[in-house]
């Protein structure tokens, strides 16, 4: 529950600390006494309101600090997940305004406004005109009942969850068992066709390795062809290496060549 509200420099309130007790707490006063400012300050600290609506003109600092006391396991897990200190069930949410900028903290650690809203949703619900009212949303009803009667209903709730799980599994098996005959025959035809395709392929052990080798060879066919063309050009043409190779003739062959030339 909310144990205290500390407000400073918010509209007409210079500084005020309100301590709340267990049970019902009521703020009363004439119109303009500041009741709405207190609620607005709470909303500002929780990230759903703005300092601009309450900070007095010329003021360079404002602050709202809320102290909660809770034994909620969900809050404890959220603090742990967010790497925030656990203060034995005490959660302090504060938001400071200075020179046009605001900073939010939870248990002394600087946090984002989004994280403040997530944790605040587990701690407090503001009901009022134009405010968030979770009771109006059916999706929250079961969670509210579970939260209110958690200790009394935890056993029956777990038993109901287990029965529902078993029912869901049996229902799925039954749905499969009573599959429409037409769909069953269609599935049989499809599987028969697939089996026939596999049989016609006549696959053999190690064939995938052979096909992989052939694939690599064919994928490089163009490159191989280009290289062979370059080799042919360098060795077989008139300007190739074969015509450019010089050699020294054997002396006997050279003398015979001169004799034939003289004759």
pLDDT in tens, 83-113: 999 898 899 999 998 887 889 999 999 999 8
pLDDT top residue among 203 and 132: 203
pLDDT of 200 strictly over 90: no
The mean per-residue pLDDT over the stretch 170-189 comes to: 82
Global pTM? 0.49
Please say if the pLDDT value at position 207 is more than 60.
Answer: yes
Q: Which of 58, 51, 52, 42 is nearest to 3 (CA)?
A: 42
* Comparison of pLDDT for 241 and 229, the residue scoring more: 229
Q: Which of 44-48, 109-113, 147-151 has the highest mean pLDDT?
A: 109-113
Of residues 64 and 236, which shows the higher confidence score? 64
Residue written as tokens 């078993």? 166
pLDDT tens profile 6-31: 998 888 888 889 999 888 888 888 88
Average pLDDT for residues 45-53, to the nearest whole number?
84
CB atoms within 10 A of CB 62: 22
Which residue(s) pair with 5 in the sheet? Answer: 18, 66
- Confidence grade of residue 219 (pLDDT, cut at 50, 70, 90): confident
Tell me how long the chain is: 263
Which of the pair, 58 or 123, is modelled with greater confidence? 123
**pLDDT confidence of residue 57:** 67
Q: What is the pLDDT of residue 248?
A: 44
The mean pLDDT of the chain is 81
């Amino acid at each position: 529950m909310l144990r205290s509200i500390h407000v400073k420099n918010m509209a007409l309130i210079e500084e005020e600390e309100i301590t709340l007790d267990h049970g019902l707490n009521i703020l009363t006063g004439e119109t303009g006494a500041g009741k709405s400012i207190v609620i607005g300050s709470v909303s500002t600290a929780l990230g759903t309101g703005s300092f601009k609506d309450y900070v007095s003109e010329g003021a360079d600092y404002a602050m709202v600090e809320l102290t909660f006391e809770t034994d909620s396991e969900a809050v404890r897990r959220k603090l742990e997940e967010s790497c925030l200190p656990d203060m034995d069930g005490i959660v302090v949410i504060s938001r400071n305004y200075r020179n046009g900028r605001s900073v939010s903290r939870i248990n002394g650690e600087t946090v984002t406004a989004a994280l403040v809203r997530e944790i605040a949703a587990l701690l407090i619900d503001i009901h009022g005109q134009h405010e968030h009212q979770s009771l109006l949303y059916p999706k929250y009803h079961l969670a509210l009942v579970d939260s209110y009667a958690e200790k009394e209903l935890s056993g029956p709730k777990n038993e109901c969850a287990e029965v529902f799980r078993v029912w869901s599994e049996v229902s799925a098996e039954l749905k499969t068992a009573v599959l429409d005959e037409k769909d069953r025959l269609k599935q049989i035809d499809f599987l028969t066709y697939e089996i026939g395709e596999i049989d016609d392929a006549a696959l053999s052990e190690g064939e995938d390795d052979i096909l992989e080798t052939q694939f690599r060879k064919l994928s490089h066919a163009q490159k191989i062809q280009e290289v062979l063309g370059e080799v042919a050009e360098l060795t077989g043409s008139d300007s190739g290496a074969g015509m450019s190779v010089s050699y020294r003739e054997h002396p006997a062959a050279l003398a015979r060549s001169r004799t034939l030339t003289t004759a």
